[in-house]
A and B are shown apart, each in its own frame.
Chain A
Amino acid sequence: KQEVTQIPAALSVPEGENLVLNCSFTDSAIYNLQWFRQDPGKGLTSLLLIQSSQREQTSGRLNASLDKSSGRSTLYIAASQPGDSATYLCAVKGGTSGTYKYIFGTGTRLKVLA
């Protein structure tokens, strides 16, 4: 059974810092991995999607890497801003069972202080 873990659960940093959010998963036979952002009381916004054959994806100040064999992904946020404050969720699709549903981690709550 696929399990997704995110570390840290919460993070508070001063504005301008570069930071790394971690995601690990137990079944490496995934199709892809997606990082989402969730603002309080809102739905999920897709940030980056990494296919199983890819090593990383970049969008603006965000960079996500994938090491499928070790079951790990990291989301790197450069030059953090107060507007980055949100919960960041990692989700994986697939696994040995071949499922097409995403399994989510519990998220990292990020607060960037001005």
Chain B
Amino acid sequence: GAGVSQTPSNKVTEKGKYVELRCDPISGHTALYWYRQSLGQGPEFLIYFQGTGAADDSGLPNDRFFAVRPEGSVSTLKIQRTERGDSAVYLCASSLGLGDSNHGYTFGSGTRLTVV
């Protein structure tokens, strides 16, 4: 597609529920990144993929968080047993290649997750 698409744009869920956030990167971009942004803060790294594999998942806060990219394009961030502290904007970005250090990111508009 023309840009990075994230769905839904807003998600309200009850504490303890399971949620899935979707990211559709720019066509041809092999690298995909997930970030989380709390109010007044810069984006915080969660995980990135090169193709189908997670190249670095060191930013995932705990085992309730998991992300997949089964066919090397669309990615889903999954959060189990949501907590109020998970409320944030979840941002996805893609770039042409992980192994090429020269490329910057293109971000989606984000999913605002609110856990009540």
- Residues of chain A touching chain B, judged by Cβ–Cβ distance below 8 Å, are 4, 31-32, 34, 36, 41-46, 49, 51, 89, 91, 93-94, 99-107
- Residues of chain B touching chain A, judged by Cβ–Cβ distance below 8 Å, are 6, 31, 33, 35, 40-45, 48, 55-56, 59, 91, 93, 98-99, 101-102, 104-110, 112
Minimal Cβ-Cβ distance residue in B for A51: B102
Give the shortest distance, in Å, between B51 (CB) and chain A (any CB).
13
Given the contacts A43-B91, A43-B110, A100 and B102 also touching, CB distance less than 8 Å:
no
A104 and B104 contact, CB distance less than 8 A: no
Number of CB contacts from chain A to chain B under 8 A: 65
Give the shortest distance, in Å, between A21 (CB) and chain B (any CB).
14
B104 and A49 contact, CB distance less than 8 A: yes
A contact residues around B91 at 8 Å (CB): 43-44
B contact residues around A31 at 8 Å (CB): 101-102
A43 and B109 contact, CB distance less than 8 A: yes
Complex-state Cα separation, A41 to B110, whole angstroms: 9
Give the shortest distance, in Å, between A97 (CB) and chain B (any CB).
10
